[in-house]
Structure 1
């Protein structure tokens, strides 16, 4: 290994990158460690392994990297491959290894490789908890990161509603054998879904599960996707402050007390939270115009429908973005029925709880008490319908740190704004086939024969897909006569009768 040098506990180079970028680099290098260490001596492999592991401290000088000098390295400084018969560090005997560490793994790359080789319907895949995705995988599978060099004036890439490879990073890494559809299926099957929320309250003398209909879908959006979405929301915030958005799209009320004054951005329709100065009641204002759904948000909507979070019968056509600063909240409420059910909210930047209850209590500014609290992880989607949307009220207590949420809803057809035009690229969306549907379709495609009954009610016809021929049901050829057997049997029977 050329240029052996003693590793330093601190490196000014890392100060040029934030914690997320350092973490992503660590995951990427971890996956490539077997390739990077190929042909190196064992001590040099250990050095690379520890150097990569030190990145996980994210510029923390407490993680040290063992030094290597000429006496420590088992080979000449000019050629670390001399002692490796096959040019691979794996050839070293276990007897020489006093370290319990796996020099070719930082605890993740083998697991990642195993995950991509498992069948989609294997028990291991269905029960394995969510693992951190590698940087390379996120770069390949990330719709939101697509088209980075093809931004339109609104800061969004038109990726034809798909997930093309990123231009800058994908070109620098080798091609992956898995197709885009296969990678999407892998992520789709790793989504954790909880649909069995239970909280019983007595309403009108009957015990009712007020959380019936709630669904929590975790890890719908990866870390890289979240970063891109948050970055775009921050751009919209700046545009709103500069007056570059329509008047009712952007709202930033004054923070006159704790819990009040969160920033909101509305797209698709303008919703009036309370009776305004003009006397307009709460609800969708048909005469008010806001900006249409940004393309990036439409890409998110397609993900929600395709990954079985929202049904294709309820594709959102509007959304509201909430930007919380520390201490901001949302008071107890039930969403207006001018928006049909289900609707959903996506969480970014920081985790917080959402409270549910038929009778939520206000304890103080931004503080509430409820029957049940549900944590909202980053990148997760909470779907509201049934009792969870219409019986229980919900609220978000004062958040401990900055948070962004995007709530997608579909307007009632009769409540849409004047002149509203449906988004053409949100029409006809269909969900990704799950394993059961895929298996059923495959079985049907392998069936080469189908039975068709004529319109006059006669015997069914058999169509041979392989030969492209159609004939009557074979049984119908003999339906009107009795089988008489071979001729010699008929002659013998006639002689006996006479």
Structure 2
């Protein structure tokens, strides 16, 4: 800054050379790449200098515009002036937002958490093979439901419209019906179930799956908290699916310490990674989950061919509704007040619902509390992520609420969109898309998906492992 380097005076030729190097670098950068560089956190002095220089450039261009009298040149310079002002404004806003985020005390928890979790966002899990521009687009894609951006200005103008288009394309079925005799009464045991399809597109599914594989690798290396990752021995068909828990430690059965099934309040697992928080925000914004029941925990299930989940009703340590998302392979989920075991990993029930990849199944009402549900042995590798909100009286003692999930609101249908609201007949068509008759269980048709490879293991630990040889992380979920 003062023309010296390590106490040695820098010659004028060296200064010129350095300046030319900077110009050549800047000329080779795209607008979004320059914005990324300038959007990082700056100290007060640097931020003030940058702001002053940008304002000076904008003022100079504005003055030049006023001094030009030729109609042709005025039109040309006006166009450049508008572009320069737009660019300057966007950079100033980026710097301002970065500084606000850097200074705000209430974001301290979020920054500590993102130090680990950001590594696994859908846009950055494969960051060794993607440039920063692509990462930024993918990140916004999952946050607001849009993708395929062309330019920054176009993004700012049409993100809302693109999200509305994606939102209106979601298939929704809510009219599940199957009556059974329960305690002497005819009851619709699947009342309250909802199936939402096309919630996550192919690109988003790929990023989510890659993130899950990274968590699996970290768990295998002992770099997650002890109860976060579980990989039991496969001793028979249907036994041994891998589970990864975030937000709370859930006990499926009485453990070796005598803890009953349910949330273990004394146990800590890793916090929700950013990729899953983005999924939660998507589901709330798209009116799949209500803002009154925003999930703060999740369980990832990684199935190999033949793995299953036996008949059960989810523990009431978790509120209703809750949901499960499906990836890699379509499979069926069975419902009924009485489900029978037909063999290892095989079950029989009166209601069979196919779960397409990228879909979300909501469980509430009788569908969550009267009917049991299970997943028979899957035909191919599958990943499901179940999101649930903990009962306030069951929240772990060390749990800290995530401010990023506070105040998420549904997308307003009154917001301007590229097309009018669907007619009642079109809405009915949307609700029945990608669903099948409940009377006859449909065949399980696997949807092939490529194997998502990952790079070298250079990710920091998400949390603390209690295994020998790993230091315990002081951060509490």
Identify if the C-alpha distance between structure 1 residues 313 and 438 changes in structure 2 by more than 3 Å, giving closer, same or farther.
farther
2:200 paired with 1:200:
no
Structure 2 counterpart of 1:299: 278
1:260–1:329 CA contact under 8 A, matched in 2:
yes
Higher helix share: 2
Cα distance in 2 for residues equivalent to 1:357 and 1:409: 21
Which TM-score applies when normalising by structure 2? 0.57
User: What does residue range 74-473 of structure 1 map to in structure 2 within 5 Å?
Assistant: 144-145=122-123, 149=131, 162-163=143-144, 170=149, 179-435=158-414
Cα distance in 2 for residues equivalent to 1:353 and 1:378: 11
Cα distance in 1 for residues equivalent to 2:320 and 2:408: 17
Deviation by residue 1:62-118 (Cα, 9 ceiling, x = unmatched): xxxxxxxxxxxxxxxxxxxxxxxxxxxxxxxxxxxxxxxxxxxxxxxxxxxxxxxxx
Identify if the C-alpha distance between structure 1 residues 328 and 302 changes in structure 2 by more than 3 Å, giving closer, same or farther.
same
Moved over 3 A (4+): 143-151, 156-166, 169-178
Structure 1 or 2, whichever has the larger Rg, is: 1
CA RMSD of aligned residues (A): 2.9
Give the deviation of 1:178 after TM superposition.
6.4
1:145–1:224 CA contact under 8 A, matched in 2:
no
Deviation by residue 1:452-473 (Cα, 9 ceiling, x = unmatched): xxxxxxxxxxxxxxxxxxxxxx
Give the deviation of 1:244 after TM superposition.
1.0
RCO (CA 8 Å, sep 6+): is it higher in 1 or 2? 2
Aligned length: 291
Cα distance in 1 for residues equivalent to 2:290 and 2:166: 19
Which TM-score applies when normalising by structure 1? 0.55
Structure 2 counterpart of 1:91: none
2:338–2:372 CA contact under 8 A, matched in 1:
yes
Identify if the C-alpha distance between structure 1 residues 193 and 171 changes in structure 2 by more than 3 Å, giving closer, same or farther.
closer
Cα distance in 2 for residues equivalent to 1:183 and 1:162: 12
Deviation by residue 1:425-458 (Cα, 9 ceiling, x = unmatched): 10011000125x879xxxxxxxxxxxxxxxxxxx
Question: Unaligned 5+ residue runs, structure 2?
Answer: 1-120, 418-477
Give the deviation of 1:197 after TM superposition.
0.2
Give the deviation of 1:145 after TM superposition.
3.9
Identify if the C-alpha distance between structure 1 residues 274 and 323 changes in structure 2 by more than 3 Å, giving closer, same or farther.
same
